[in-house]
A and B are shown apart, each in its own frame.
Chain A
Amino acid sequence: GENVEQHPSTLSVQEGDSAVIKCTYSDSASNYFPWYKQELGKGSQLIIDIRSNVGEKKDQRIAVTLNKTAKHFSLHITETQPEDSAVYFCAASITGNQFYFGTGTSLTVIP
């Protein structure tokens, strides 16, 4: 089955700096890659996703890039703010099938 690896496991950045979280996947058939933000008391929320027919997607300060050849995708957060502090999970899926999650990245934005 699919294997998703996520790095780093922890990340600290100064407020205003950028944060990058990287994931790799093993199954070339995977075609949907969401990112989730997990905060205490708020559950896990989908923040951005990308499909395999697109190389990059941006939503305000958040962007995701996908390299299908290398089988990796990354989350980029620019101009980080303290409220960006959370655990972020990547996932890979073949549309309609099971999701496989990375192990999570704990992001701390230092004011």
Chain B
Amino acid sequence: SAVISQKPSRDICQRGTSLTIQCQVDSQVTMMFWYRQQPGQSLTLIATANQGSEATYESGFVIDKFPISRPNLTFSTLTVSNMSPEDSSIYLCSVRIWLNTGELFFGEGSRLTVL
């Protein structure tokens, strides 16, 4: 398994501002992902964070709104830009250690409230 630390664990932000969430893993991992969980909803994949290159975004998510960095194999950031109340969600970092084994591990999540 992997120990995944996310910061901040929660935040309250004003409309129009941006917030960067950090994800640190205690070991090198093959793949890192960012998910969103809106209130009462399931987990939706935002993007795959690619080390050293641009992230791969899922349908409905764009780089201008959710810029992602992954400078190395243990760290990634997700920025939620120009926030609106609709962005209030839990944002989760997840990792897959080995591509072929399939297991996905999650951080504790960052609960974001936009006023």
Contact = CB atoms under 8 A, between A and B. Distances in A.
Nearest to A42: B108
Interface of A: 6, 32, 34, 36, 41-46, 49, 51, 89, 91, 93, 95-96, 98-99, 101-104
Interface of B: 4, 41-45, 92, 99-109
22 contacts: A6-B42, A32-B102, A34-B102, A41-B108, A42-B108, A43-B92, A44-B43, A44-B92, A44-B106, A45-B106, A46-B103, A46-B105, A49-B102, A51-B102, A89-B42, A93-B104, A95-B102, A96-B99, A99-B43, A101-B42, A102-B42, A104-B42
Nearest to A1: B59
A32, A42, A95, A96 interface centre (most CB from chain B within 10 Å): A96
Q: Chain B: interface secondary structure? A: loop
| A-side interface mostly | strand
A95 B109 contact: no
A93 B102 CA distance: 8
A49 B103 contact: yes
Contacts of A101: 42-44
Contacts of A43: 4, 92, 106-109
B11 to A, nearest CB: 15
The 7 A-B residue pairs whose C-beta atoms are closest, nearest first, are: A43-B108, A44-B106, A32-B102, A101-B42, A95-B102, A101-B43, A103-B42
